[in-house]
Structure 1
Amino acid sequence: MAGGRSSRMRNTTSLSLHKALAPIFGIPLIELNLLYAYVYGYRQAWVSVAATEQQLLTHLDRLKKLYRNKLGLIIQIIVEEIPLGTIGAAQFVDIGDDDVLVLNVDNLLNLDLSVLENSHISSRAVMTIASHYESFSIPFGQLVVEEGEVVDYLEKPKQRILVSSGTYILGPKARSIVSQNYPEQRIDIPGLSKDLIALGDKVHSFLHQSIWSDINDKDTLERVRESEKWPLIDKIQDLIREVV
């Protein structure tokens, strides 16, 4: 999914281009994610892009030809004339009754996608959300109170909560809900999750401990660039050398 307007990235950096084109380890994010899926056996990809993002569309047109000829990776572009949210473009993925892997272009993940896929299948869920724990600092003092009496005072404590890793597998029913209930309309993952739960369908959480980064602004972009290499980068760099 690359249909967003990349406003946070553009507002906090000198980059005028879409975040999908922001280089990490010398490779644009869009290519890192496409080749990440390729490493785990995916040979067909749909990329959602806003109609206004001409630079990104031009880049993808070039990749389509290059990746198909050199790697056998077929890329189809979904042009969003109106914003479709974080999952609305799934209605245009024509893949029959097969499951669909969804990646957000501003995420980098080191998860074995075959393990995620197998967990989804064995769970018999209509949708699976990759999830992990993140720690957050509360900027205030937390009071622990029992019957009006303060029994503890925690100064700016950290809380560890389960969050979405921005990576999903959608079964055919989940995709049909998007296409039937939100035809050419905006729908985000939280809304789809709530719709499925309300229908009594199973939404599975796949807990992992893999390296994950959300790259949306100047701080996160610089932090990832300065970090140790993404574990899959050597394989992806080898693939890029094959196609250039």
Structure 2
Amino acid sequence: MKAVILAAGLGTRLRPYTHVLPKPLLPLGDRPILEILIAQLVHYGYDDIIVTTSYLSHVMETYFPMIERKYASAKFTLVKQEKLMGTAGGLSSLPGLGDEPFLVMNADVLTTMDYGALMQHHLQHDGVLTIGTYRKQVKIHLGVLDLDDTGNVIGYREKPEEHFMISMGVYIYSPEVLTYVPPDDYLDLPDLTAQLLADGQIVTTFHFDGYWLDIGRMEDFETAQHIFDENRRQFLPGEA
């Protein structure tokens, strides 16, 4: 199975660390975030992995020979993008994606997801795109008013908690989706999804109830370090 890891971002919210290292190479314990993802993918049967890079690409190029030696059962391709392409842009120009569904994921997530189960779900349903989803609880730190059509208050909730179904940044693409992706233009996944839906294509979801964290902010990075240290075997099932 094929997988694409999107590792080209700038990681501006994790500066000053990302002045020195690209965000996917920031360590959780003794493992860079990227290596944790690669170990998981290989464990779940992905043996052809493409990693896109741009910012500090020379650091990634120096690091990658170790990955190739350590996970020798898999084929790795490092693709440098000359400009940032978004979460969907540039996929159609990547080499060797072939004519089978493939996984695409952000390089800054920490999760216990079974990526093999995600692929099986996609193959068993009719969608051209499957989005991994997670139920997120968000605390609103203000009083929220409920109004009727005339503007009268019909409810007042003080600092409520809302629940949203969010994207995990992990997807399965059927190859026909690539016809919607221009090779050299910026494109984000929400815009691609809108194009697919407007064209009558089916986009499905795979709901996940395990652990998931987007490592986007400094506090998220600190949380990820603690959670990985406390639950290492869950995140590296192949090494349990």
**Corresponding residue of 1:104:** 106
Counterparts in 2 of 1:149 and 1:43: CA distance versus 1, 3 Å: same
Q: Report the counterpart of residue 6 of structure 1 in structure 2.
A: 11
Contact 1:83 1:186 in 2 (8 A): yes
**CA-to-partner distance for each residue in 1:18-63, whole Å, 9 max, x for gaps?**
1111111320011111111011011110000006421122112432
Structure 2 residue 42 is the aligned partner of structure 1 residue 38 = yes
Indicate the residue corresponding to 1:241 in structure 2: none
Structure 1 position 136, deviation (Å):
1.1
Say if 2:126 is the partner of 1:124: yes
Change (3 A) 1:14 1:104: closer
Could you tell me whether the CA contact under 8 Å between 1:111 and 1:211 is conserved in 2?
Answer: yes
Bigger mean CA offset, 118-127 vs 145-154: 145-154
Q: Structure 1 length as normaliser, TM-score?
A: 0.87
- For 1:77-107, what per-residue CA distance to the aligned partner results, in whole angstroms no more than 9, with x for missing partners? 1110111111224221413211111121101
The corresponding residue for 1:79 is: 80
Give, in whole Å, the separation in 2 of the partners of 1:198 and 1:187. Answer: 16
Q: Supply the distance in 2 between the matched residues of 1:4 and 1:96 (Cα, whole angstroms).
A: 25
Separation in 1 of the partners of 2:236 and 2:151? 57
- Which residue identity lines up with residue 8 of structure 1 in the other structure? R
Could you tell me whether the CA contact under 8 Å between 1:85 and 1:186 is conserved in 2? Answer: yes
Q: 2:163 matched to 1:163?
A: no
Aligned pairs (5 A) from 1:159-238: 159-178=162-181, 182-227=182-227, 228-237=230-239
Secondary structure at 2:15's aligned position in 1?
helix
Contact 2:22 2:55 in 1 (8 A): no
Q: Unaligned stretches of 5+ in structure 2? A: 1-5
Structure 2 counterpart of 1:176, which letter?
T
Go from structure 1 to structure 2 and tell me whether the alpha carbon gap of 1:233 and 1:208 turns closer, same or farther (over 3 Å shift): closer
Identical counterparts, % of pairs? 27
Q: Is the 8 A contact 2:86 2:188 kept in 1?
A: yes
Q: Is this contact kept in 2: 1:3–1:85, CA < 8 A?
A: no
* Residues 90 and 183, structure 2, Cα contact 8 Å, conserved in 1: no
Separation in 1, partners of 2:56, 2:112: 31
For residue 5 of structure 1, report the CA deviation from its aligned partner: 1.3
CA distance in 1, matches of 2:10, 2:238: 26
Give the aligned length: 231
> Is the 2:127–2:202 contact (alpha carbons within 8 Å) kept by the matching residues of 1?
yes
How far apart, in 1, do the equivalents of 2:7 and 2:31 lie?
16
CA contact (8 A) 1:46 1:76 kept: yes
**2: distance between equivalents of 1:118 and 1:33?**
19
Taking the aligned partners of 1:176 and 1:231, their CA distance within structure 2 comes to 39
* RMSD of aligned Cα (Å): 1.9
Letter in 2 for 1:90: L
Where do residues 64-75 of structure 1 align in structure 2 (5 Å cutoff)?
64-68=68-72, 72-75=73-76
Question: Structure 1 pair 77/89, CA: closer, same or farther in 2 (3 Å)?
Answer: farther
Q: 1:158 to 1:230 in 2, by over 3 A?
A: farther
Q: Structure 1's 21 and 14: CA in aligned 2 closer, same or farther, altered over 3 A?
A: closer
- Give the gaps of 5 or more residues in structure 1: 239-244
Maintained 8 Å contact 1:44/1:75: yes
Contact 2:108 2:215 in 1 (8 A): yes
